[in-house]
Amino acid sequence: MEATRYVYEFEEADGTNKQLFGGKGAGLAEMTRIGLPVPPGFIITTEACRQYYADGKKLPKNIMREVNDNIKRLEKKTGKFFGKPNNPLLVSVRSGAAISMPGMMDTILNLGLSDQVVEGLAQASQNRRFAYDAYRRLIQLYGKVAMGLDDAFFDVILGEAKKRVGTNLDTDLQAKALEEICDDYKTAIKKKIGQEFPQDPWKQIEIATEAVFRSWMGKRAVDYRKEFKITPEMADGTAVNVCTMVFGNMGSDSATGVAFTRDPGTGESVLFGEYLIDAQGEDVVAGIRTPKPVQQLKHEMPEQYKELEKVRYILERHYHEVQDFEFTTERGRLYVLQTRNGKMNATALVKTSREMVREKLLTKEEALLRISPENLEQLLHRRIDHKAQVKPLAQGIPASPGAAYGKVVFNPDQAERRGRLGESVILVREETKPEDIHGFFRAKAILTSRGGKTSHAAVVARGMGKPCVVGCEAVEIDEMNKVAIVNEHRILEGDVITIDGTTGYVYQGEVPTVEPEFSLDLKNILKWADEIRTLGVMANADTPKDAGMARKLGAEGIGLCRTERMFNAADRLPIVREMILASTVKERQKAIDKLLPMQKGDLKKILRKMHGLAVTVRLLDPPLHEFLPSVESLVWEIERLRQVKKSLQQIETIPDSVKVMLEPSLRKYVPPIEHVLGELSEIKEKGLLDELLKKKEEILRKVRETAEVNPMLGHRGVRLGIKYPEIYKMQIRAILEASAELIKEGVDIQPEIMVPQVCTSQELKQVHMWMEETQKAVEKKYGICVIFKFGTMIEVVRACMRAGRLAEVTDFFSFGTNDLTQATFSFSREDAEKKFLPLYNEMQILMDNPFEILDIKGVGRLMKITMEWGKKTNRNLKVGICGEHAGNPRSVESAIPLGSIMSAAPLTVFPLPDSQQHRPN
Ligand code: PEP
Ligand code: MG
């Protein structure tokens, strides 16, 4: 059997196969193929990484032979020699999985240097400083990645060297100082871990390859994959990219930078990026020196700038996507070292989508698909209210837009801890590093005092859509002592600040924010989405106010109007309680008669607001005890009332005691006490307290009576309607009378009546009968026809199984996916989410929370059967989803085949431009 091949040159690798070559490798291969100036190199596949783990963390057999063969080929291509002092070949070893995980895995640069080779490099380059700078970086990176030492270990030595020279800039360190640092690094490593820094470059590359494989399972990478739900199907293992080193730190004719083919903050079609003269790539990304905007390169290196513009053009024409690429100019010669799809904020995504369609780089569909629902959500973020006229404390570089406020924390562990506790926190750091990622997840925003728009903090925050300000040099941060000083202000941990990632401003305290406005680009994109979509989008709204908002946001109707929400208003609740506590039908009817005009009034307002669009009104659903006070609160109140009654009796002795016991000057208080007592005795005589007590005790008795062991599976939904027909009849009457009155006014309305918690067609038939009776009565009363639809919620497993029969009596089904999920799993949502779902997710017994992400394999399957059986008996049956899942993008994606209408909370319904609205088919 032929041995598996693990190593491919850039020229040979398939640039479309990210699974095998990783995103970085595929990009390098593709750029080599289309003629861009990529330094020669090769890729060790992700398959090798998988094999490494399968073999118990051992490099696959023969892999180093393949690597060595490829190094030999590199020597031939470059005319340089690996491990030889004479004209030495240096390489970088970089990680790269199928899905980009910026900074989460390891990379080592300048491999191939040793005590001997560095001398050769110094001679070959005629630049001793450069050679020792490269060696210093290698020892440090190698020490960190392959030997497990942390940055601080090396920073101390570097810091001491700078102090000796009297500088705080790396660039001020001359060859001699760097040589000493290299020696100090090596001695310190030996002392710390008892191992030498390896002088054999072949050994270096072997250990480095292994270290990169190991970083795939490092904490950072694992956390990142977990947070972003990167599954093994999406990326399984990292590739290792071995690439000839080119140097941006060979003097003033060398530079290194990161660029985007368009501005990732605004979407503008201009070359965007940053660079540093005489520096290596890590300097730009780490934010150690503040880089210059790439436009300045036009003046500093005009030829290279022109070439960069060419690269920009070629990359976009090839990838049909905005690219984020790394470049290095070595002694005037430009190289491209990496390309990947550019991570942009929502504004930029929307703008570039629109413009790239115009430039025929994308079709409308492609343009829409590159914008995720989460991206669009960013545009719903609030921004600082300019009217607030607050003076900023400082201004940094705006790196990721949006405004946020929160309590300052100076380290990522604190951000994680306090964030998890539900506090709004802002992570404030000098600069961030990949190992800070856990803090990013929980922070509302990030502020750094160093670094530019392509620094780690900026890139990661943009990817997460979190506001971020970087390079805010006016903020002096003392992370150890947990204080930041801005001019004369001291900001301590826990103090609130506001940051605006759109302008770069930092404010003290909480600053008011306002809703965002919709750009022309966004309106255009939404119009395309509206033209292309097949799904109907409705909103769940229960009050006239919510209905107004739903309409404003472009909902095509109300898919769920929960009538019980109208019962909760302060003026309704006492009547609803009267209705529940009634001992006779007559008493109940009396309360219901008071509710009818209120319910009708609300419904009229809602139907009017939604003129021309459907409004699905659901009859009462929750168990009645939800409208009653809790047993605990009643017991407490009764106890208090009893105490008050007793105190009243005792208080009558006070005036006599005062007269007898106190000195004459205090007797003036007797008349007011007697006055109060007079009023209190009226309360006593009229028996107010006794009556109140009696009422409370009666309510308590009734509350105990209605209490259920499992209220969610108990007396609720249509079961209530069947037991108390007066309630459902009143609701039906309210809907139909409100409709009749609006029809008479000439308002175009489309009412729908929906029954909750149905499990058998007999229940539906019963409600249907009341509905027909009421319809007749209303039509007679108003002398007109009232047209409406009648449907059922599907929330009970038996309803799914009897879908064919239910469809015989209904015009529509609406899946209540929350209850249906509870019923299918036999999980009570609240208990599950509190007690065991997090563990299930952690252990990957369940990949998601099924109450957020529709469980397509179980619940989805039931829904599919229900829809098919329902449509078999009623071809015109309309099917939609009104459970919370309808507002969750991932759920909607998988639920599209299961319903043609999604109805969700108004703010999850994205606005349509100019409120164009029409009925879904
Ligand atoms: C549901 O169960 O999904 C539903 C929409 O009903 P409710 O949330 O009101 O129980
Ligand atoms: Mg429900």
CA of 816 to the centre of ligand 2 (A): 5
Q: Please write the tens of the pLDDT for every residue from 195-251.
A: 999 999 999 999 999 999 999 999 889 999 988 889 899 999 999 999 999 999 888
pLDDT confidence of residue 653: 74
Candidate from 560, 719, 854, 908 with most ligand 1 atoms within 8 A of CB, to mutate: 560
For range 455-468, the mean pLDDT? 79
Position 258 pLDDT exceeds 80? yes
Q: Please write the tens of the pLDDT for every residue from 658-670.
A: 666 667 777 777 7
What gap in Å lies between CA 510 and CA 426, rounded to an integer?
12
Query: Helix or strand or coil: residue 40?
Result: coil
What gap in Å lies between CA 341 and CA 94, rounded to an integer?
18
Position 76 pLDDT exceeds 70? yes
Comparing 464 with 912, the larger pLDDT belongs to 464
CA 462 vs CA 112, 321, 456, 468, 469: distances in Å: 35, 17, 10, 8, 11
Position 356 pLDDT exceeds 50? yes
Position 809 pLDDT exceeds 90? yes
Sequence-separated contacts (24+) of 147-151 with Cβ below 8 Å: 147/189, 147/193, 147/195, 148/193, 149/189, 149/192, 149/193, 151/433
Where are any strands of DSSP class E within 105-249? 107-111, 238-244
What gap in Å lies between CA 61 and CA 531, rounded to an integer?
56
pLDDT confidence of residue 915: 32
pLDDT confidence of residue 463: 64
Position 774 pLDDT exceeds 60? yes
Residues β-bridged to residue 554: none
Q: Is 894 in the pocket of ligand 1 (CB under 6 A)?
A: no
CA 899, distance to chain mean position in Å, is 26
For range 486-499, the mean pLDDT? 93
| Rounded percentage of the chain residues whose pLDDT exceeds 70 | 96
pLDDT band at 307 (very low <50, low <70, confident <90, very high): very high
Least confident of 408-412, 650-654, 745-749, 765-769: 650-654
Position 134 pLDDT exceeds 60? yes
Residue 848, class by beta-carbon neighbours within 10 Å (0-12 exposed, 13-18 middle, 19+ buried)? Answer: middle
Report which of 751, 795, 741 is spatially closest to residue 771, judged by C-alpha positions: 751
Least confident of 245-249, 557-561, 702-706: 702-706
For range 591-607, the mean pLDDT? 96
Position 912 pLDDT exceeds 50? no
Q: In what order do the strands lie in the sheet with 496-500?
A: 394-395, 505-508, 496-500, 403-409, 425-429, 445-448, 468-470, 397-400
CA 534 vs CA 523, 529, 890, 901: distances in Å: 19, 10, 17, 9
For range 292-306, the mean pLDDT? 94
User: Which residues have CB less than 5 Å away from ligand 2 (the ion)?
Assistant: 795, 816, 819
Sequence-separated contacts (24+) of 82-85 with Cβ below 8 Å: 82/112, 82/201, 82/202, 83/112, 83/114, 83/117, 83/200, 83/201, 83/202, 84/117, 84/120, 85/116, 85/117, 85/119, 85/120, 85/121, 85/123
Least confident of 56-65, 93-102, 361-370, 829-838: 829-838
Q: Is 903 in the pocket of ligand 1 (CB under 6 A)?
A: no
pLDDT band at 535 (very low <50, low <70, confident <90, very high): confident
Active site includes 675?
A: no
CA of 795 to the centre of ligand 1 (A): 8
Comparing 718 with 436, the larger pLDDT belongs to 718
Position 183 pLDDT exceeds 50? yes
For range 364-379, the mean pLDDT? 84
Question: Do residues 492 and 381 make contact, with C-beta atoms less than 8 angstroms apart?
Answer: no
CA of 818 to the centre of ligand 2 (A): 6
Least confident of 272-281, 603-612, 640-649, 845-854: 640-649
Comparing 711 with 798, the larger pLDDT belongs to 798
Residues β-bridged to residue 43: 8, 241
CA of 717 to the centre of ligand 2 (A): 9
Position 403 pLDDT exceeds 50? yes
Position 739 pLDDT exceeds 80? yes
pLDDT confidence of residue 841: 85
What gap in Å lies between CA 348 and CA 341, rounded to an integer?
13
Position 385 pLDDT exceeds 90? no
- The one catalytic residue among 381, 456, 625, 885: 456
What gap in Å lies between CA 204 and CA 210, rounded to an integer?
10
pLDDT confidence of residue 913: 34
pLDDT confidence of residue 124: 86
pLDDT confidence of residue 795: 97
In the structure encoding, which two tokens stand for residue 870, read together? Answer: 């329902």
pLDDT confidence of residue 286: 61
In the structure encoding, which two tokens stand for residue 201, read together? Answer: 């470059």
In the structure encoding, which two tokens stand for residue 45, read together? Answer: 């596949």
Q: Which ligand 1 atom is at minimum distance from the Cα of 884?
A: 3
Position 301 pLDDT exceeds 80? yes
Position 640 pLDDT exceeds 50? yes
pLDDT band at 59 (very low <50, low <70, confident <90, very high): very high
CB neighbours of residue 822 within 10 Å: 22
Comparing 628 with 70, the larger pLDDT belongs to 70
Q: Is 519 in the pocket of ligand 1 (CB under 6 A)?
A: no
CA of 768 to the centre of ligand 1 (A): 21
Residues β-bridged to residue 497: 406, 508
Question: Do residues 15 and 35 make contact, with C-beta atoms less than 8 angstroms apart?
Answer: no
Q: Is 882 in the pocket of ligand 1 (CB under 6 A)?
A: yes
Position 16 pLDDT exceeds 90? yes
For range 822-826, the mean pLDDT? 96
Position 907 pLDDT exceeds 60? no
Residues β-bridged to residue 557: 614
CA 41 vs CA 73, 135, 141, 307, 517: distances in Å: 9, 21, 20, 22, 48
| Rounded percentage of the chain residues whose pLDDT exceeds 90 | 61
Candidate from 720, 882, 891 with most ligand 1 atoms within 8 A of CB, to mutate: 882
In the structure encoding, which two tokens stand for residue 621, read together? Answer: 């659903």
Q: How far apart are the first and last CA of the chain?
A: 59
Which protein residue's CA is at the shortest distance from atom 10 of ligand 1?
819
Q: In what order do the strands lie in the sheet with 483-486?
A: 475-478, 483-486, 489-492
Residue 290, class by beta-carbon neighbours within 10 Å (0-12 exposed, 13-18 middle, 19+ buried)? Answer: middle
Q: At what angle do helices 115-125 and 128-145 cross, to 10 degrees?
A: 140
Q: Which ligand 1 atom is at minimum distance from the Cα of 819?
A: 2
Element (H, E) at 439: helix 437-442
pLDDT confidence of residue 377: 66
Q: Is 795 in the pocket of ligand 1 (CB under 6 A)?
A: yes
Position 26 pLDDT exceeds 50? yes
- For the residues of 336-367, what is the DSSP string, one character each? EEEEEEPP--HHHHHHHHHHHHHTTSS-HHHH
pLDDT confidence of residue 288: 64
What gap in Å lies between CA 394 and CA 475, rounded to an integer?
7
Position 434 pLDDT exceeds 80? no
Return the biggest CA–CA distance within the chain: 117
CA of 817 to the centre of ligand 1 (A): 7
Q: Which ligand 1 atom is at minimum distance from the Cα of 756?
A: 6
In the structure encoding, which two tokens stand for residue 212, read together? Answer: 């990169």
Position 27 pLDDT exceeds 70? yes
pLDDT band at 893 (very low <50, low <70, confident <90, very high): confident
Question: Do residues 297 and 255 make contact, with C-beta atoms less than 8 angstroms apart?
Answer: yes
CA 72 vs CA 79, 88, 201: distances in Å: 10, 13, 13
Active site includes 318?
A: no
pLDDT band at 920 (very low <50, low <70, confident <90, very high): very low
Position 380 pLDDT exceeds 80? no
Arithmetic mean of pLDDT over the chain: 89
What gap in Å lies between CA 621 and CA 716, rounded to an integer?
6
